[in-house]
């Protein structure tokens, strides 16, 4: 007896495309003699559908798609994820359901019980939690069908404030009382470079705890800022990895129930390290953002610095060099090597580039504003004017050529507000806004692993915005190693200032950095969506008031 794991890339609300993906996988599974095919959580509408779930026509489309897919399930059984109506008189109007389809009908359903409301998740906003649990019997096997969080009731958290057991009920504990033979978990779990090992550990520990195999099917691809790594995993009852599907790729693979149940075959999986995964995640995020929005080409302001260089490399890989263009916009403060480095990179990638000096418009602004600024010293105002001139030029090309402006600010800069609102913070998508500066350098080394693409000088020179004579980032900020250490502890781990200080950081630096983080929330509120590769990215997963008193 065989089962198939279908790890696919869904498009939110694109019901015809999603249905086609699912039906093609069913056809392939049938051809391979599979008895059961398993898809991921909410695969029918795509994840996360957010407030589209409030639309009756959207839910009706989901139901229609389910019925049409059920007709394809002849001689094979499928497990799919879809919202379904809650027919009870009380509670939320929807369930997040795993539906079992066979011979043209829905023959079983399991509803999600644990509805996360942390980080980017807000599932209790839409769904009613299930409180009854039963197994599905399939050809003599008793299957415990769970949905994502239902199997993660004991997951570890990054900060000590969170409990190790977040929920008061354990769906798997309830299902275990009925003696299942296999655990099936369908999920839509976003990528986080710090969570890949923790996710695997959850599945392995559950298999060992209940002494039964675990099949977990995750989606891949990206939807807006969320990137899904796939990496669907099958674990035998000993907690050994039987098979793991690739990261960030679609895959439809068929396996034997007998081999899994006997537990005799375990595969030694090579563990990818963080930087290659981050690189692949960002390429996936860019590619799917453009594919799913219908845009094809992008533009990047190329400064000769490492951040814009990384973004250009990622965009060229994701979209093809013919769909990426660079605009170099030197000023009186730009060093000669910044221009030559930027040109060298554009040529190495075979990307079209244009050079437009900002000197004339900057002079015009200075002249027109001189009467208003009389008696005032030059300060950050003139620096911001230059950044905003560049944004105007980039957006002009974007409008005229129909290409999306990619933002090049990194997470370290965004955290402390080291950027100009309506200037270098402009863009339709923030490519590296969830990547700390210290990891930017690691990404550069990875991109150059086979040959020099990013010029060595771009990597080794001291970071500078080049908006005033001899300017360096270190004039305004601690060195990036120190800064990123504090940022990670305060943002990801949510440690209080005193705890960070007690663990060895300089008190004055800690309080300065935290003040900058909180003061600049208003800037991040107006920033473009950020591709998420961590467990706490700026955007939907970190909700802070703009006006609050820092206790």
Which run of H or of E encompasses 502? helix 497-502
Torsion angles phi and psi, residue 19, rounded to 5 = -65, -40
As a whole number of angstroms, the distance between CA 38 and CA 215 comes to 9
Q: What is the 8-class DSSP label of residue 352?
A: E
> What spatial distance separates the first Cα and last Cα of the chain, rounded to whole Å?
61
Can 366 be counted among the known catalytic residues?
A: no
- With contact defined as beta carbons under 8 Å apart, do 109 and 98 qualify? yes
Considering the candidates 148, 311, 313, 403, report the single residue annotated as catalytic. Answer: 148
Can 62 be counted among the known catalytic residues?
A: no
Can 253 be counted among the known catalytic residues?
A: no
List C-alpha distances in Å: 428 to 291, 329, 346, 431. 14, 19, 21, 10
Find how far residue 495's CA is from the centre of its chain: 23
Considering the candidates 41, 123, 128, 253, report the single residue annotated as catalytic. Answer: 41
Reading phi first (left if > 0) and then psi (alpha if -120 to 50, else beta), residue 95 is in: beta
- With contact defined as beta carbons under 8 Å apart, do 77 and 143 qualify? no
262: Cβ–Cβ under 8 A, 6 or more apart, which residues? none
List C-alpha distances in Å: 1 to 76, 121, 186, 254, 257. 11, 37, 20, 10, 6
Reading phi first (left if > 0) and then psi (alpha if -120 to 50, else beta), residue 216 is in: beta
Residue with tokens 């060895």: 504
Considering the candidates 112, 411, 495, 523, report the single residue annotated as catalytic. Answer: 112
177: Cβ–Cβ under 8 A, 6 or more apart, which residues? none
Peptide bond into 57 cis (omega under 30): no
As a whole number of angstroms, the distance between CA 168 and CA 155 comes to 13
Q: Residue 97: helix, strand or coil by DSSP?
A: strand
Residue with tokens 């009186």: 332
Cβ neighbours, 10 Å, residue 89: 5
HSE-up of residue 279 (Cα within 13 Å, Cβ side) = 20
SS3 sequence of 367-397: HHHHHHHCCCCCCHHHHHHHHHHHHHHHHHH
Q: What is the DSSP string of 411-460?
A: HHHHHHT-S-TTTTT--SEESSTTS-HHHHHHHHHHHTSSS--S-HHHHH
Q: CA-based angle 131:137:139, to the nearest 5?
A: 165
As a whole number of angstroms, the distance between CA 349 and CA 319 comes to 12
Single out the residue of 146, 130, 61 nearest to residue 98, CA to CA.
146
* Catalytic residue IDs: 41, 112, 148
């Amino acid at each position: 007896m065989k089962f198939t794991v279908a790890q696919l890339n869904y498009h939110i609300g694109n019901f015809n495309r999603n249905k086609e993906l699912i039906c093609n996988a069913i056809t392939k599974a049938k051809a391979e003699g599979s008895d059961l095919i398993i898809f991921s959580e909410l695969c029918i509408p795509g994840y996360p559908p957010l407030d589209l779930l409030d639309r009756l026509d959207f839910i009706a489309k989901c139901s229609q798609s389910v019925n049409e897919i059920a007709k394809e399930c002849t001689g094979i059984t499928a497990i799919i994820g879809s919202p379904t109506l809650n027919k009870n008189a009380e509670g939320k109007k929807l369930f997040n359901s795993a539906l079992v389809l066979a011979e043209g009908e829905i023959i079983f359903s399991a509803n999600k019980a644990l509805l996360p409301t942390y980080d980017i998740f807000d599932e209790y906003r839409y769904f009613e939690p299930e409180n009854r649990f039963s197994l599905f019997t399939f050809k003599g096997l008793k299957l415990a069908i769970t949905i994502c969080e239902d199997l993660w009731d004991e997951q570890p958290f990054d900060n000590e404030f969170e409990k190790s057991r977040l929920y008061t009920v354990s769906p798997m504990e309830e299902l275990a009382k009925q003696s299942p033979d296999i655990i099936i978990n369908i999920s839509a779990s976003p990528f986080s470079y710090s969570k890949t090992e923790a996710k695997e550990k959850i599945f392995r520990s559950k298999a060992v705890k209940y002494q039964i195999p675990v099949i977990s099917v995750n989606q891949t691809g990206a939807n807006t800022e969320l990137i899904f790594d796939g990496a669907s995993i099958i674990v035998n009852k000993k907690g050994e990895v039987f098979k793991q599907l690739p990261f960030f790729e679609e895959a439809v693979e068929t396996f034997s129930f007998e081999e899994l149940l006997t537990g005799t075959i375990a595969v030694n999986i090579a563990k990818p390290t963080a930087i290659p995964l981050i690189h692949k995640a960002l390429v996936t995020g860019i590619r799917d953002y453009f594919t799913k929005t219908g845009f094809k080409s992008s533009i990047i302001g190329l400064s000769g610095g490492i951040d814009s260089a990384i973004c250009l490399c990622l965009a060229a890989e994701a979209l093809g060099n013919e769909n990426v263009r660079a605009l170099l916009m030197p000023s009186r403060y730009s060093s000669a090597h910044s221009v030559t480095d930027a040109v060298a990179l554009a040529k190495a990638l075979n990307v079209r580039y244009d050079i437009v000096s900002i000197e004339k418009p900057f002079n015009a602004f200075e002249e027109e504003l001189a009467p208003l600024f009389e008696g005032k010293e030059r300060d950050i105002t003139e620096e911001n004017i230059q950044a905003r001139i560049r944004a105007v030029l980039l957006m002009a090309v974007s409008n005229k050529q129909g290409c999306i402006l990619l933002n090049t600010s990194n997470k370290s800069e965004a955290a402390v507000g080291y950027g100009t609102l309506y200037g270098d913070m402009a863009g339709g998508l923030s490519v590296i806004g969830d990547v700390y500066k210290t990891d930017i350098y690691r990404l550069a080394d990875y991109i150059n692993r086979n040959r020099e693409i990013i010029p060595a000088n771009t990597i080794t020179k001291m970071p500078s915005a080049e908006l005033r004579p001899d300017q360096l980032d270190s004039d305004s900020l601690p060195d990036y190693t120190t800064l990123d250490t504090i940022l990670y502890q305060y943002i990801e781990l949510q440690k209080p200032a005193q705890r960070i200080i007690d663990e060895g950081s300089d008190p004055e630096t800690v309080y300065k950095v935290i003040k900058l983080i909180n003061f600049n929330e208003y800037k991040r509120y107006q920033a473009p969506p950020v591709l998420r590769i961590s467990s706490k990215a700026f955007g939907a997963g970190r909700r802070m008031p703009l006006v609050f008193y820092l206790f």
